[in-house]
Structure 1
């Protein structure tokens, strides 16, 4: 599960104020909540009394606008340090739960899962947030697959005209180049789409988002982030795909969408962009459930350099070894 990598657990907008949420990482469950001050807290999800899920409880606000999470079984309150006050006692206990260490960068909530960091947090999301408007999040999904198959699927540039053909009517992949910078890379390719009539566009306006040729620029930050940089008639998009290893056999994925509209009316198409992104994740999750994971690969297609990049970095993590794929 690549211990020592940073994982983006959530964007702050994904957490409602004083609403406990369960997040899993490295086989452990945590309860995460945001108080009225916007501060983020995270504790192990099992109550130390009888193991009830704290994420199924609720939050109680305090006078300073901080909040505690309350166990749904016996209403024990736990503060951000994991301390509680036992019934018939006015004395706070020592910490009973060890908080999950979080690294907050603006609206981004990162964690190493309590493991010693081996690679740094990429700064690209901070750069995107400073330039683009935040459109929203979508497709927060747990997929019954190991982390590696998920990453291989996302870096398989040949699957666009198969897995995603029903959505984009992609006809072929015209690969241009791949730039390998170790744990960071760029892939550039064009995807011609099938013609859409004016009548079809009038009937379904969201087809206006699909150009005749989708010019893809994927910016990859191993292992947790793939960014699709796109250009539509309504402006620029940065569609950020995130991955989190919930356990050995379950991987969470979701999308954060940022955009730069070129006119006021363009902002109305943000919802459509999110809907497209949700379908993309649904299609990827569906195909991952239709693959024999241990089957031997006897055929190799052109332009599998993204797959090779993932395998190299996965096998040698946290080191980066030759070959440098962009030069091979």
Structure 2
């Protein structure tokens, strides 16, 4: 389960007012919410009374402007420390739920899932947030697949012209360079595609931002995130993918999108970019539900160096071992 890696549980924009959010990691469920002061809290999701899911409850604001999450079963209120006031009393209990330790960096909510840190949180998200416009999140879903299968799919460059062929009409995948720097890597890919028809553009205006050859720089941070750096005359894109091992056979993925506009058209298609990414994740989730994960791999394709990078790091974590896969 790669304990000791940092995981981005959520972006602050994903926390709706007075609505607790359920997050899962390492086989445990938690409730995440933000109080009126902007403080973010995270507790085990099971109420210590009769096990009701706190994430199915609601939030209340107290006189000091802090919030409590309220159990939907008996309306017990739990503050960020896991304390409650029992009916008929006026005194707060000791902590009945141990808070999950969070690392808040601006709008980014990180956690090591309660384990000792083995690798640091990279600075790239703070740098992107400082220089690009955040336009939203997309594709947030829990997928019934083991974490290794999820990572292999996300670093399988050949599946673009299979799983996503109809969406992008990619004719070929050309892996021009792969730079292996341990748990950090870069892949530079060129993907020639068919020209979209007017009907295609009408259905999905985001296609206007796509050139004839999709040239992507994929920057990977094992095992928790990847950033797609995209450039076009219309805009620059930072498409940030995040992966979380929810349990042994359940994995979560979501995407944060940042852009820098080079043309007024960019502002017209931002919403379509989020919809496009949503479709991509739907297609990935669909194919992952149709894979036999333990099937021996008796065929080796070109451009599988990203998958080799995943397997090596998955087997050696938290240590980095040779060989170096740069090419």
Name the structure 2 match of 1:290. Answer: 290
> Residue deviations 1:59-91, cap 9 Å, x none?
110122210011111111111000111111111
Name the structure 2 match of 1:143. Answer: 143
Name the structure 2 match of 1:60. Answer: 60
Name the structure 2 match of 1:218. Answer: 218
> Residue deviations 1:202-241, cap 9 Å, x none?
5653331221000011000000101111113321000011
Name the structure 1 match of 2:39. Answer: 39
Matched residues in 2 for 1:174 and 1:227: separation?
A: 18
> Residue deviations 1:154-195, cap 9 Å, x none?
111111100110110000011100001110000001000012
1:227 aligns with 2:230: no
Name the structure 1 match of 2:208. Answer: 208
Asked if structure 1 preserves the Cα contact closer than 8 Å seen for 2:204 and 2:272, the reply is: no
* Cα offset, 1:198, TM superposition: 4.7
Matched residues in 1 for 2:3 and 2:200: separation?
A: 48
For residues 1-328 of structure 1, the aligned pairs below 5 Å read: 1-198=1-198, 200-201=200-201, 204-326=204-326
SS in 2 for 1:163: coil
SS in 1 for 2:162: helix
Count of equivalent residues = 327
Matched residues in 1 for 2:189 and 2:37: separation?
A: 44
SS in 2 for 1:319: coil
Q: 1:244 to 1:149 in 2, by over 3 A?
A: same
Matched residues in 2 for 1:195 and 1:263: separation?
A: 21
Matched residues in 2 for 1:59 and 1:90: separation?
A: 20
Q: 1:322 to 1:202 in 2, by over 3 A?
A: same
> Residue deviations 1:91-134, cap 9 Å, x none?
11110000010000000000011111111111111111111000
Q: Which runs of 5+ in 1 are unaligned?
A: none
Q: 1:204 to 1:154 in 2, by over 3 A?
A: closer
* Cα offset, 1:199, TM superposition: 6.0
Matched residues in 1 for 2:86 and 2:202: separation?
A: 64
Q: Which runs of 5+ in 2 are unaligned?
A: none
TM-score by length of 2: 0.97
SS in 1 for 2:220: strand
SS in 2 for 1:267: helix
SS in 1 for 2:119: coil
* Cα offset, 1:39, TM superposition: 1.1
Query: Is 235-244 or 289-298 further displaced after alignment?
Result: 289-298
Q: 1:40 to 1:200 in 2, by over 3 A?
A: closer
Q: 1:113 to 1:264 in 2, by over 3 A?
A: same
Matched residues in 2 for 1:204 and 1:215: separation?
A: 20
